[in-house]
Amino acid sequence: MFRRMLHTGAPLRAVRKPQFNVKAMLARLPDYVGSVQAREPVDGEQLISRLQELPERQKEVAQIDGEVRVVQSRRKVLEAEMAAGMHRAAGAELKMLKQKYQALATRAKALREEIRATCEDLPNLLDQSTPHSEPEIVEWLNPLPEYRADARCEHHDVMVRKKLVDFQAAAEVTGSSWYYLINEGAMLEHALVSYATRKARQWGFSLCMPPSIARSEVIAACGFRPRDQNDEQQIYAIEGSNLGLTATAEIPLAGLGLNRTLDLASPRALCGVSRSYRAEAGARGRDTKGLYRVHEFTKVELFYWAKPADSAALLEKLRAFQTELISELGLSAKVLNMPANDLGAPAFKKYDIEVWMRGRGSFGEVSSASNCTDFQSRRLSTRFVNDAGDLDYPHTLNGTAMAVPRVIVAIVENFYDPETDRIRIPDPLQPYMDGMQYI
């Protein structure tokens, strides 16, 4: 039944072709070229070449439109004369004009599709504060006097020994990079999700439990591609359908605005809880051991639709939420303004938070927050009525409230005491773990 339902839905296309303001994009052509160059995509040179051809393509469309108007004007004159009995020999010329019109219309349609495809493939523009190639530290959270690795605190060994996780059983049942969280390990996930969602509601976000499967065109419209720059699979596609498993609740949350006009008298704020799926093809080395890089995990995601004038301030609000959460957990971290070559196509500006992980002996990313401006809303045909009474595209923003496995890694590796063989539970989580202070 499940396969039949998926197959039945496959032929439907939910996403309309996006409409682009080509004139406005051409006015900022150097900025788009700079954005492509700074992001360093594999197909960057080809995309820049297509982008630089846009003015000529647009000029050709305008010329064809002019020719079409001349043809149509002449046809109307001839048809009127024939109707009045003034031009009985106009049939041959009308036939020729009809053929010319069809040829011009076909060429114009092809050019417009080429222009639209180029616009759709372009990444977002970049905020002026975005670094070029190296992240910029903008804030430290709970800084330590020194950062010293301790292999005794490596989360994989600690959690396996304390029966908080079972990687072996998951490998036999599913494969590598899957896991069973068990006993207090499962309680810790529940506590982290409960803590994050309660805080999100206190900050004005409405709770949402979205689907973890979306149509491929919705996934693509959000800026997620089936394969990465190295042509390695990143999205799990469901065979025999046009559906895929979502890598983050950002995708179905953005999809809530699909083909809709929203009331944005105030920003709409959602907090989504979902399982997230990532193929993580190409991942190698120590990242594949333990919980740091896995194929399936629980994630709490924050999402905004907002008027364009409000989005910059809301990105800072997302960052403030994330820094408060990480600080309250007692984790030492750095907040980074991420460089252009680390930004996905939708992001105009992005912050990451990297937490110190003592067992790994390095900082690891636990959250990100991005302002995508109108990249997603334009591709999903999400609109709002602006102050002038016109339909416009809202800005979308997303931020991680809780990526459960990464934060578990950080908690275990920072709060495990090798002398007592106990893991201290951060104070905010204890109410969700039956008052337990240690594992």
Q: Is 367 annotated as a binding residue?
A: yes
- Find out whether 368 is annotated in a ligand binding site: yes
Is 294 flagged in the annotation as binding? yes
- With beta carbons less than 8 A apart as the criterion, state whether 269 and 232 touch: no
Provide the pairing of β-strand 165-166 with 416-417. Answer: unpaired
> Hunting for tokens 């799926």 — which residue is that?
277
- Does residue 419 have a known ligand-binding role? no
Q: How far apart are CA 369 and CA 378, in angstroms?
A: 20
279 assigned to a ligand binding site: yes
Q: Map the chain to HEC letters.
A: CHHHHHHHHCCCCCCCCCCCCHHHHHHCHHHHHHHHHHHCCCCHHHHHHHHHCHHHHHHHHHHHHHHHHHHHHHHHHHHHHHHCCCCCCCHHHHHHHHHHHHHHHHHHHHHHHHHHHHHHHCCCCCCCCCCCCCCEEEEEECCCCCCCCCHHHCHHHHHHHCCCEEHHHHHHHCCCCCCEECCHHHHHHHHHHHHHHHHHHHCCCEEECCCCEEEHHHHHHCCCCCECCCCCECCCECCCCCEEECCCCHHHHHHCCCCCEECCCCCEEEEEEEEEECCCCCCCHHHHCCCCCCCEEEEEEEEEEECHHHHHHHHHHHHHHHHHHHHHCCCCEEEEECCHHHCCCCCCEEEEEEEEECCCCEEEEEEEEEECCCHHHHHCCCEEECCCCCEECCEEEEEEEEEHHHHHHHHHHHHEECCCCEEECCHHHHHHHCCCCEC
Annotated binding-site residue? 278: yes
Is 296 part of any known ligand binding site? yes
Flag whether 295 is marked binding. Answer: yes
Is 133 flagged in the annotation as binding? no
Per the annotation, does 191 bind a ligand? no
**Which residues does the annotation place in the binding site for ATP?**
278-280, 294-297, 365-368
**Which residues does the annotation place in the binding site?**
248, 278-280, 294-297, 301, 365-368, 398
**Which residues does the annotation place in the binding site for L-serine?**
248, 278, 301, 398
